[in-house]
Amino acid sequence: MVGDGFRANRLKTGYDKYVYKTSNPEQQKILCENGITLARWLFEFGKQHLHWAVISYEDFKNQLGLGDDEIIGAVFCTENYEAIGHKDNDRSKYAVGYVYEEGTVKDGFFFYPEYGIAIEMSSNSIWCWLTQAVHGTSKLDLNDGGTRYTAAITLSERTAKAIEKNKV
């Protein structure tokens, strides 16, 4: 998983750009060069097609007097992501995600166990989820050699606190 966004700078006040990775250097380089472009695209696409999913981002920006040109969330990119049920420690009510597949990927449903909902993920699609509801994915079947790439933008609690601290 590779992430790009802002978090508190432990050496001085304010917040700085960061790259979080448990991935290879080439993926990190791509994200560093294109992370903000991807974050803007995801946010604007969410704003246009899932407008209710970005209200908490807009409210946060308005409360702090941030401009529309400022990206306030962090973008996370993964390859073949699988996660058991969990809740995110996010300030945003929803996260917005995009999935793209190369080759054949089977299974890997996105699910909300509390609601009994499973969403079949398909390539070149966007979706959103409640960050405070238990959610996760089922195991991917990659036996046919496919790869699933996922990108998501969210306003994590850590990022929100760093931005608030800088604005005071």
- Evaluate if residue 121 carries a pLDDT over 50: yes
Please name the residues in contact with 20: beta carbons below 8 A apart, sequence gap of 6 or more: 1, 2, 3, 4
Averaged confidence pLDDT in the chain: 83
- Evaluate if residue 18 carries a pLDDT over 90: no
Q: For 11-37, what is the mean pLDDT? A: 59
**CATH classification number, 2-167, choose in 2.60.120.10, 3.40.50.1820, 1.10.150.50, 2.30.42.10:** 2.60.120.10
Q: For 69-83, what is the mean pLDDT? A: 85
Provide the phi-psi class of 116: left if phi over 0, else alpha when psi is between -120 and 50, else beta.
left
Cα pseudo-dihedral 80, 140, 45, 61, rounded to 10: -70
Specify the pLDDT at position 165. Answer: 87
Of 168 and 73, which is predicted with more confidence?
73
**What's phi and psi for 70, nearest 5 deg?**
-90, 125
pTM across the whole model? 0.78
Q: How far is CA 16 from the centre of its chain?
A: 18
How far apart, in whole angstroms, are the C-alpha atoms of residue 37 and residue 80? 22
Of 160 and 14, which is predicted with more confidence?
160
How far apart, in whole angstroms, are the C-alpha atoms of residue 146 and residue 62? 42
Specify the pLDDT at position 143. Answer: 96
**What's phi and psi for 103, nearest 5 deg?**
80, -160
Say if CB 134 and CB 85 are below 8 A apart: yes
Domain ranges of the chain: 2-167
Specify the pLDDT at position 33. Answer: 66
- Evaluate if residue 154 carries a pLDDT over 90: yes
